[in-house]
Structure formats: structure tokens, C-alpha cells
Structure 1
Amino acid sequence: MRFLSVLKAMARHSVRDMMNLFFNLFFPLVTLLIFGYVFSGIYSQSSLNVGFYGQKLPMVSGIKYIEYPTLSQLKDAVNSQKIDLGVTLEGTSLFAYINPANIQSSNYYSSIVKSIADEINKSKGINNVIGVERNDISFTGKHLDYLDNLIPGILALSIFSAGIFSITASLAHFRDKKVIKRFWTTPLAKWEFYSAFISEKMVESFLSIILLFVAAMIFFRPPYSIDLVRFTITVLAGTFGMMGVGMAILLISPNARVASEISSVLYTVIMFFSGVYFPLDLLPKFLQYIAYGLPLTYLVMAMKSAMGIAPMSDLFFYLTIGIMFFGSVLVLLGFSRIFKVE
């Protein structure tokens, strides 16, 4: 019964801790929705507005042409973003006008211009000697876009956040307020405090992941094939592993404020070098070496494997999980140290 009482007290403390709720629940959810809508909208336009001046252009699927009487007016429309891009056909040259502000869509627009050029060649009886046709072969056999790869990374980032901030915020608060010291005057056993604290944080982590996953399925409908066993193990092991990182930060921090600041800096740096927002192959070689030394990198890989969008051998998966569970050892050692200090 004492265990349940402590568990309830921990839960009430977490609910009242606005910083804890923000980093563990609301920040990952807001990140998911913002990035999801940004990247799902880049290539999902139902009709692209393409302005042209001069010669008529052949119809291309997904394009709505808008004619302009002068080249100057066409350029002004592109500059003011009234249209997505502009094109003019002069002799054997097709000129494209793209606003640099649309840098995230520039490659897409270039492919549209290439499609227009191909249609012009076909209309004139000109065919390319060698045609290029792109075929995406995914691990799942399903079409996967950038957003589908981003969501597992955000889920892993949420586990990382829940793990380190649960220690550097909640436990640091207990230490600074001498809450742990007061336990010595009660019949509460150390294992009851340990188990109640860890259980509450595990439940909190699962609730965060479930909230994110449900939001992702409702708003973006990604084509995942979830392995529930791997998914559950990844969440459990990842939370333990990140709590171990948080405990290491707490032990070298004199107070909760310093621990929270170190965690925030670490969170900001690590999330950009762990394959959350872009593939590790895009990083320079020396940064890739750093990335493969970060625990979040392997948590992202394990999460993608559990969600069925990237291959990962059983040996490598369970080796990763085993290393993550080592975080539980760090947590228990940290608890012992804190009790001794108190």
C-alpha cells in the first residue's frame, strides 16, 4: 500500500510540474504537428499554379496554367508568390522562374519543369534516347516519404526527453527540497521509492508515446507495420537508457537549475545529430562518428525497426536494447548515491 501511496504522490507531482508536462507531452506533440504539416504539404499540392508567357504549353497532370501578357508581370507574380513558378518557351529553350523563398520545394519545381519539357519534346516528335524512370524500393514494400521517416524519430526524441527530464527535473527537485532526506524519518523502504518513481515515469513515457502515435495516425495516416513486442521493448529500454543519462547529469549538477540547463543544451544538440530530422548520411564524416556515439541515434534506429520502416537484424536490435537497459543500472547506482548524500 505504501508503494501505491508514493506512486500517487509522484503522479500528482508530475501533473503539477508544468515544465515536466511541457517537455514530456506538449512539446513533442507540437513538434510532430508542426513538422508533419510542413513536410506533408511540400509535395501534396493538388494543383500547382504555373504562370507562363508567350507560347502555349502542353498540359501536364497536376498543373494549372495561368497566362501573363508580359514577362515582367510573370516575374512579378513569381516574386510576390501569387504563383508557384513561372515558365517561358523561347525557341528551343524553356526558362523557369522560381522564387528562392520556396527553397524547400525547389527540387520539386525543377522536376515539374522537366516534365513540361518532356511533354514539349513529345509534341514535336522528339524522344529521349535514354529515359530515366525512378523506382522507390522500400523495406516494407510501401511508399514512404520524409514524414513517414520523421515520425519514429520524434517518438524516439519524446522517449529521450521523458527519460532525461524525469531525472534532472523531478528527482533534482526532490533532492534540492530535501524531500528524499525526509524519507529517512518514515518506514518507507528505498525500493518502494525507487519502484514508485520509475513506474510513474514509465507510465508517463508510454502515455506520451501513445498520444504522439495516435496523433500521427489521425492527422497523417503513415503506412506502418508495428511490431508490438519490439515497440514495447524499445519504449521500456529507451526510457531506462535515457533516465541513466539524466542520472549522470544530475550527479554532476549542484542543483536542479543547473541540471535542467545542461539537459536542455544536451537535448538541443543531440536531436540534430541523431537522425531524427534528416539522415545521418547527410552529415560530414566527422559528425557521423559523433552521431554513432550518441544513444539517441540507436534509439531512433530501433524505433524505425519496431515500426517496420527500416531493417535491423535481431542481433543488433537486442544488443541496442541491452545497452539501453544498462541505464537502469545507472539509475539504481544514482539513487544509492543520492540517498547517501542526503
Structure 2
Amino acid sequence: MFYSFLVMNFRSKFLLVMNLILPIIFMLMFGAVFGKQSGAYKVAYYSDRDINIESGNWVKIDKPSDVESIKALKFDIVILAEKGKIDVYYLSSMAQSERDVLLFRTKYSSAQNQSSVIEIKAHNLELERQLSDLEYIMIGVIAVSLLSVGLNAGVSIFSKYVRYGLFKRFMVTKVKPAHLLFSSVGAQLITGIISSFIILILSRLVFGVNLFVKLHDIPLYIAVVFASVMINLSIGVLLSLFFKKAAESISSLIYTIFIFFSGVYFPITIIPKSLRIISYFTPPRYVHMMFQKLYGVNSMDNVLFFVLIIGFSFFGLLLGSYAIKKFLKPTA
């Protein structure tokens, strides 16, 4: 049954377009607009030797007076080299700097035939991550793809499939509600992971934006994907319960509203003040914030982060369980 739900997500042309192709189109479209803004992290460096690094993300600076001055700099990495010693300050949790430190060390060691480097010392400051516009957009694409996966699953399973008599067939086979629930939920989770992973790969290949999480953050990433799919699935379930035949049309309208008013493709500050309140009722807004938190941005505190994961997951499972039991119940 799990396999059937999963295959349907990729066999249905509508679901394939909404869950995968449309988010990719959004990624390419918005990425082309913001593509000139580099998604790479920025490195500042000071050296007491005459070296020059010609790269768009490297900037030569004067020597900072203290650590507070370093923190005030708008860079992901700050490298200070003096008297054969190199201090590397990490100001971003996303910076992958081994190659850059090696490049700097090579240039510093070979400058003016000076002595080799005596010591390299790392200082992990890890201040709040500042997303570039391109990174913000790519995370928004993931949030919208998960909106589509969950919302369309809820409507398809509990509106379209009900009309096609699928649940009547399930009643004949006496399938257990829990088995049906976890099969459908599992299929949507896998679909969400596949969709988001494809976007991560394409954003890296096409725009050079590295949003792959570290290995130890993968369980949290999956938890955020699961919670995102569940809260959006619950909306689809509610539409199916209240509007039945009109659920598909209304879900398309809600999908459009969520895209424009959630602020996942652009900050809500550009939305008229009278309409900004709408964003607080759109799940993609909070999904985007959870992903930001996962990527090192201080978008919310840890308590709210886990409350949203647990709350969204529980709400989706609760409504899904209720709807399955309702439609599997024989009519009098």
C-alpha cells in the first residue's frame, strides 16, 4: 500500500507537476533574478605580508583591533596572519573553509620568500547566519514544494479517492486504519525528501548555493520535512472534509495565497502593512523559519522550533487518522 501511494505521486501528471516540476520552475525563475548575487560565503583577510587573492568572495581588510571588531564584520570567515601565525575566525555555521584556509596558507607561506607558517589557530565564533537573497529563495522553493506535497496529498486521498470509491474497496479488504495512515504518510514523507533533495542538488549545480546540511543535522532535516508535510496535509484533509467536491479548486486558491503572502520567496516587508497579518496564518512561513533555524539563522528559539515540529506532526497525524476512520466507517 505504501508503494502504491508513492508511485501515484510520480505517476499522476498533476501531482508530478505540482510537487516537483513547478517548484523547479520557480527555482529557475527566481534564481535567474537573484542569480547575480553570489550564494558563496565571504572571506575577509589581513596579512602582514604582501599577498593578493583575486576572488569575488575574498576581501582584503585592515587589521581589526579586537574580537568585537571581528564580530562586527559582515563576513562568514575572517583570516588574520601575522608573524608566521594564522588565526581563522568562523562567523558562520555554514562556512566550509578548509580549501580556503589551505589556499591562504600557501600564498602566505610563499610570499616574499618568508618563513613558513608556524601555527594555524581556529576560533569558532559562529554568529547568526545571514542568508543571501538567493539562499532565501532556495529555502522558499523547498517550503513551497513541501506545501504542494502535503496539500495535494490531503485533497487527493480524502476527496478525489473518496469520490472514486477507493475507501469502499478498502472496507472490503478490512484494511486497518493505522496501516492506511502510515502508508500514506510514509509515501508523502519520501516524496517530500526526494523533492527537497532534487532542489538542493539543482540549486548547487545551477546557482552554486550550498544548502546541504551536515551529517549530524540530517535527522532534524527529515523531522522538519515530516512536520512540513503533515501540517500541509492537515489543511488538505480539512478542505476535503468541509468542501468535498470543491476541495481541489479551493486548494489551488489557497496554494496561490500561501505563495504570495507567506513571505517565503521575499520578505513580508514588501507586502502592504494591511495584508501582512495574513502571513502569520500561512504554514509555509513557519516552515521557512524552521529551515532557517536548521541552517544557523536565529529565526526562532529552540523551544519554538521543537514545538512546531511536534505540533505540526501531531496535528497532521490526528486529522489524517480521523479522516481515514470516517471514510472507512460503513454508511448506514
**Do these two structures clear the TM 0.5 threshold for a shared fold by scoring above it?**
yes
1:15-67 Cα deviation digits (max 9, x unpaired): 321101110111111211221122214x57xxxxxxxxxxxxxxxxxxxxxxx
Q: Which one-letter code corresponds to 2:219 in the other structure?
A: V
Residue aligning to 1:334: 323
Contact 1:14-1:170 at 8 Å conserved across structures: no
Q: 1:136 to 1:7 in 2, by over 3 A?
A: same
Contact 1:231-1:307 at 8 Å conserved across structures: no
C-alpha distance in structure 2 between counterparts of 1:218 and 1:328, whole Å = 36
Contact 2:200-2:212 at 8 Å conserved across structures: no
Post-superposition offset of 1:289: 2.0
Contact 1:20-1:169 at 8 Å conserved across structures: no
Give yes or no for the alignment of 1:254 onto 2:247.
no
Post-superposition offset of 1:199: 1.2
1:261-317 Cα deviation digits (max 9, x unpaired): 111100001111111121123333332222112222111111111123444310121
C-alpha distance in structure 2 between counterparts of 1:220 and 1:298, whole Å = 25
Post-superposition offset of 1:137: 6.5
1:165 to 141, 148, 152: 152
Question: How high is the TM-score relative to the length of structure 1?
Answer: 0.66
Residue aligning to 1:149: 136
C-alpha distance in structure 2 between counterparts of 1:286 and 1:300, whole Å = 22
151-160 or 309-318, larger mean C-alpha shift: 309-318
Q: Could you say what secondary structure the match of 1:30 adopts?
A: helix
Question: How high is the TM-score relative to the length of structure 2?
Answer: 0.68
Residue aligning to 2:293: 305
Contact 1:181-1:339 at 8 Å conserved across structures: yes
Contact 1:149-1:309 at 8 Å conserved across structures: no
Residue aligning to 1:24: 19
2:228 to 209, 229, 238: 238
21-30 or 301-310, larger mean C-alpha shift: 301-310
Q: Which one-letter code corresponds to 1:271 in the other structure?
A: I
Q: Which one-letter code corresponds to 2:228 in the other structure?
A: G
Residue aligning to 2:196: 209
**Which one has the largest radius of gyration?**
1
Q: Which one-letter code corresponds to 1:191 in the other structure?
A: A
Residue aligning to 2:304: 316
Q: 1:167 to 1:224 in 2, by over 3 A?
A: closer
Unaligned runs of 5+ in 2: 39-71, 77-90, 93-126
Post-superposition offset of 1:245: 0.8
Q: 1:220 to 1:281 in 2, by over 3 A?
A: same
Residue aligning to 2:206: 219
